[in-house]
Amino acid sequence: MAEVYHALGLNMHQPPGNLLALHNSQERWEARQILWCYDRPTRMLEGYEDIARPHISFSGTLLKQLDDPAIRETFHDVVDVEDFLARYRRSQCIEFMGTGLYHPVYPLIPHSDWETQTAWWKGLGWKLLGRAWFQLQGFWSPEMGFCMEMIPMLKRHGYRYVIIDSIYIKPRRQMRWEEQRYRPYIARWGGEEICIIPRDRELSNAQESGLDPGWFQHEVYERTKNCDFPALVTTWTDGENGGWFRTVHVDSGFWGHFYRPILDRYRAGVLGFTPIHISSYLDRFPPTEEVDIYPGAWNTGHHWGGDFGQWTGSLLQKRGLEELGRTSSYYQQVKQAFDQRGHMSANPEEVRHLITTAYDHILQAETSCNFYWGSCWVNRSFDGMDQAYKLLDTARSLIPG
């Protein structure tokens, strides 16, 4: 049996304004439980820094809330936000992942917005997490939404690998199922290439809902026992959804019941696989085989992800995404006019500010959560686009010609 490694990832995300909205509603307790989920990881990793190798992604919409003085003041009796962010900055055992600023499903938004969603997150992530862009090797695409056209953009931002659900790997040869799930590959598009890290969907489902360390140890063994290559078992879920993560009884939740016991077994030499950072695995076992990737996202409830039906299933969802394309195109037109003639405006900086603010509204309107709940939240996207149109109309009226 070949060596077996485990890469565990957690995605931390909140819709824009959600923490204050929960606090101001009847669900105040939920906001507290969510914030404890962000405070908890570095505390639970104390004493395990030498062997723990988790990966964590913070969405830009969450980081913006954690950077908000109103959030820090409102919840000062729950958590010390600056303190736990400082602990993340000091951590040497967490591999942070880059992502998109407003948590968009990349394949569903205008391609012209990919660059800014990615670049603006890096600036915010560097500020709050203390990781320079060249220290971020992995990309967590929001909702695991990915298509191969993203590869050149990700490479421009220095990313080495991206997490993909294993069911979307399209082999170029007949492949055993163990190879498709537990072996990284290379995907190429537009003259650029990136490493593809397959995620085990079933084991990730278990990680999200609650699992026993003994069961997980046995499952990993059974799933990899026929591998004739160094196997990389990758599990990835949200890190704050459900009672498994939010419980105040830590010993019965993810960290106390599962993750620390797994590390204890590894330290005792009885686990059978090794926790590892993906970047370290790739240093030791760089992939050489090329595959193609079907467009898709991760599974959500009864949606399998391959048709993006969670975000496109209703007429209103479809209309919202179509309007995002038109609004983004209008922004590009106004910006081009400003680039050409803006210097002749009476107050160029005012016009620039109007255009930049409008674009921020557009990017926020692309938040996946606006489209996740059927038609219920799509109005949030339309509201953002309406504000963007008003600002862009004003800006256009101030540009000569």
Tens-place pLDDT, residues 13-63: 999 999 999 999 988 999 999 999 999 999 999 999 999 999 999 999 999
Q: Per the domain annotation, does 27 fall within a domain?
A: yes
Q: Parallel, antiparallel, or unpaired: how do β-strands 231-238 and 192-199 relate?
A: unpaired
Tens-place pLDDT, residues 136-169: 899 999 999 999 999 999 999 999 999 999 999 9
Instruction: Mark whether 199 and 339 lie in a shared domain.
Output: no
Instruction: Mark whether 36 and 164 lie in a shared domain.
Output: yes
Q: Per the domain annotation, does 307 fall within a domain?
A: no
Instruction: Mark whether 263 and 359 lie in a shared domain.
Output: no
Look-up of token digits 């993006």: 308
Q: Per the domain annotation, does 30 fall within a domain?
A: yes
Count of CB atoms situated within 10 Å of the CB of 80: 14
Q: In the prediction, which pLDDT does 131 show? A: 64
CB-based contacts of 298, cutoff 8 Å, min separation 6? 143, 144, 165, 199, 201, 204, 305
User: Per-residue pLDDT averaged across 382-393, rounded?
Assistant: 98
Instruction: Mark whether 236 and 383 lie in a shared domain.
Output: no
Q: Per the domain annotation, does 242 fall within a domain?
A: yes
- The conformation of residue 254, written as its DSSP 8-state character, comes to I
Instruction: Mark whether 280 and 326 lie in a shared domain.
Output: no
Q: Per the domain annotation, does 299 fall within a domain?
A: no
More confident residue, 325 or 346: 325
User: Per-residue pLDDT averaged across 111-116, rounded?
Assistant: 98
Instruction: Mark whether 283 and 340 lie in a shared domain.
Output: no
Instruction: Mark whether 281 and 328 lie in a shared domain.
Output: no
Tens-place pLDDT, residues 290-319: 999 999 999 998 899 999 999 999 999 999
pLDDT value at 117 more than 90: yes
Q: In the prediction, which pLDDT does 401 show? A: 82
Question: How far is the CA of 250 from the CAs of 33, 38, 247, 256, 306, in angstroms?
Answer: 12, 13, 6, 5, 35
User: pTM value?
Assistant: 0.96
Instruction: Mark whether 250 and 142 lie in a shared domain.
Output: yes
Torsion, Cα of 258, 261, 266, 267 (10° steps): 150
User: Per-residue pLDDT averaged across 242-258, rounded?
Assistant: 96
Look-up of token digits 């975000």: 311
Q: Please state the domain count of the chain.
A: 2
Q: Per the domain annotation, does 298 fall within a domain?
A: no
Instruction: Mark whether 130 and 199 lie in a shared domain.
Output: yes
In sequence order, the β-bridge partners of residue 138 are 97, 161
Label residue 339 by pLDDT band (50, 70, 90).
very high
Q: Per the domain annotation, does 181 fall within a domain?
A: yes
Cα 392 to Cα 379: distance, rounded to the nearest angstrom: 20
Q: Which two tokens stand for residue 21?
A: 């909205």
Q: Per the domain annotation, does 304 fall within a domain?
A: no
More confident residue, 401 or 10: 10
Q: In the prediction, which pLDDT does 343 show? A: 86
pLDDT value at 133 more than 50: no
CATH number of 70's domain? 3.20.110.20
Picking from 260, 293, 326, the residue at the C-terminal end of a domain is 293
Q: In the prediction, which pLDDT does 243 show? A: 93
Picking from 258, 293, 328, the residue at the C-terminal end of a domain is 293
User: Per-residue pLDDT averaged across 211-219, rounded?
Assistant: 97
Instruction: Mark whether 245 and 336 lie in a shared domain.
Output: no
Q: CA geometry: angle at 260 spanning 257 and 263, to 5°? A: 135
Q: In the prediction, which pLDDT does 135 show? A: 75
Label residue 381 by pLDDT band (50, 70, 90).
very high
Q: In the prediction, which pLDDT does 132 show? A: 53
Q: Parallel, antiparallel, or unpaired: how do β-strands 292-293 and 169-170 relate?
A: antiparallel
Cα 260 to Cα 282: distance, rounded to the nearest angstrom: 25
Label residue 201 by pLDDT band (50, 70, 90).
very high
Residue-number span of the structural domain to which 18 is assigned: 4-293
pLDDT value at 370 more than 90: yes
Instruction: Mark whether 95 and 224 lie in a shared domain.
Output: yes
Q: What is the DSSP string of 176-232?
A: -HHHHHH--EEEEETTEEEEEEEE-HHHHHHHHH---HHHHHHHHHHHHTT-SS-EE
Instruction: Mark whether 35 and 108 lie in a shared domain.
Output: yes
Picking from 293, 325, 356, the residue at the C-terminal end of a domain is 293
